[in-house]
């Protein structure tokens, strides 16, 4: 039941520290060595993989985008992301050394099922990342990594998404371990960062009231934009999808670098724009994002900035600032998505919508 929450979705948002911990449980040794026995592909088969294609729909496809960034960086294997329903109709290049990853919380999404069937007819191996034990997609796959989020009842995916991210990180690190593209201590340090996520998530959730206040302030918004870069780009897409499906609001997510190629024309006085700022690091990602925020603010946008807690460089350009725990860039989606989930859940509640059963939507889409 809902344990005192008004919606299953809100309950599931608050379950995320536990869900993320469960997704990691038993999958690494104390020293950070990964143990993914359920990936029933031999080390040789894993070494032979020369391309990965991740298929999924909606939120699952956004988790796949984060996975692409992580897997290519850690494993140096070319990795594509494809919407399941586009996949087989474009005659994709598949060989026995292609690994197709079928990403699905429910394990019953027809588009993704058809994509995996197509991949198998071409001789490719299919690995499912799935939350539902014994569902069709894992049953038809060569191997499965279960996400262990527990049942997700709200139509909008929340803990399903965060645990998909964890499963992707584990897959990427496992491939890096088997293929030797990362040293043991590098893998260990990322595993320890993932293990710290539940505590980080507790802190993000402790700030829920500030996000609810934000939702009250923007209850009359007609359009909301979301900007991100790198692993923050899928977060922007996910933030926008949540608002569309729950608040029935026009929302769009963009890669911040794309702004000047068109979308900046949309910016007008008072437009709320969520900006996911990458952690400060050796690359220029952070500074480029800060300049994008300056640009849109100069044009009157109301900037709602999600940034590392001690990021003083961006603070002057934030009309509202949401502080995120300090985590590595590739892991930031885990903490950055949660305020956007809370915002959409609260805004939809204020608008009087049924958050758990949004109009026109089904929890699993079992028709193509
Ligand atoms: O069960 P699946 O992960 O295959 O579902 C895929 C999408 O239908 C799903 O993520 C959908 O976009 C959600 N309603 C998003 O909140």
Burial class (CB in 10 A: 0-12, 13-18, 19+), 177: buried
Q: What is the pLDDT of residue 364?
A: 85
User: Complex ipTM above 0.90?
Assistant: yes
Please indicate whether residue 363 is annotated as part of the active site. Answer: yes
Residue where the block lists tokens 């598949």: 94
| Mean pLDDT over the full length of the chain | 96
**Ligand 1 atom nearest 164 alpha carbon:** 3
Q: What is the pLDDT of residue 282?
A: 73
Binned at pLDDT 50, 70 and 90, residue 259 comes out as very high
Nearest protein CA to atom 14 of ligand 1, as residue: 156
Contact 256, 275 (CB under 8 A): yes
Q: What is the pLDDT of residue 262?
A: 92
Burial class (CB in 10 A: 0-12, 13-18, 19+), 80: middle
Q: Is 210 helix (H, G, I), strand (E, B) or coil?
A: helix
Tokens standing for residue 170: 């584990």
Burial class (CB in 10 A: 0-12, 13-18, 19+), 67: buried
Question: What is the average per-residue pLDDT within 118-125?
Answer: 96
CA of 21 to the centre of ligand 1 (A): 22
Q: Is the Cβ atom of 60 under 6 angstroms away from ligand 1? A: yes
Binned at pLDDT 50, 70 and 90, residue 79 comes out as very high
Nearest protein CA to atom 4 of ligand 1, as residue: 104
This prediction's pTM: 0.97
CA of 15 to the centre of ligand 1 (A): 18
């Amino acid at each position: 039941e809902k344990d005192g929450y008004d919606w299953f979705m809100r309950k599931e948002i608050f379950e995320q520290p536990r869900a993320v911990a469960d997704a990691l449980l038993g999958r690494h040794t104390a020293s950070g060595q990964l143990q993914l026995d359920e990936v029933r592909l031999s080390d040789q088969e894993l070494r032979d993989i020369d391309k990965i294609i991740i298929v999924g729909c909606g939120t699952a496809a956004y988790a796949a985008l984060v996975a692409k960034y992580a897997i290519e960086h850690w494993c140096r294997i070319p990795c594509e992301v494809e919407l399941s329903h586009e996949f087989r109709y474009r005659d994709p290049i598949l060989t026995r050394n292609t690994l197709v990853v079928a990403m699905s919380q429910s394990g019953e999404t027809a588009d993704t099922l058809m994509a995996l069937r197509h991949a198998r007819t071409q001789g490719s191996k299919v690995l499912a990342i799935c939350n539902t034990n014994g569902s069709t997609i894992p049953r038809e796959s060569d191997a499965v990594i279960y996400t262990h989020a527990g049942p997700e009842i709200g139509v909008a995916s929340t803990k399903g998404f965060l645990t998909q991210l964890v499963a992707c990180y584990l897959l990427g690190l496992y491939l890096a371990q088997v293929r030797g593209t990362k040293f043991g201590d590098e893998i260990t340090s990322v595993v320890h960062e993932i293990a710290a996520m539940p505590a980080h998530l507790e802190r993000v959730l402790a700030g829920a009231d500030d996000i609810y206040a934000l939702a009250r302030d923007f209850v009359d918004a007609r359009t909301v934009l979301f900007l991100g870069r790198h692993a923050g780009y899928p977060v922007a897409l996910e933030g926008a999808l949540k608002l569309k499906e729950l608040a029935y609001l026009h929302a769009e997510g963009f890669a911040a670098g794309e702004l000047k190629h068109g979308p900046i024309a949309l910016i007008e006085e008072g437009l709320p724009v969520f900006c996911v700022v990458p952690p400060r690091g050796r690359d220029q990602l952070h500074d480029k994002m800060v300049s994008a925020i300056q640009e849109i603010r100069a044009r009157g946008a109301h900037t709602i900035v999600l940034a590392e807690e001690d990021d003083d460089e961006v603070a002057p350009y934030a009309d509202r600032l949401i502080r995120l725990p300090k985590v590595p860039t590739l892991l930031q989606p885990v903490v950055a998505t949660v305020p956007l989930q809370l915002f959409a859940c609260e805004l939809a509640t204020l608008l009087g919508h049924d958050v758990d059963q949004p109009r026109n939507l089904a929890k699993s889409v079992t028709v193509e």
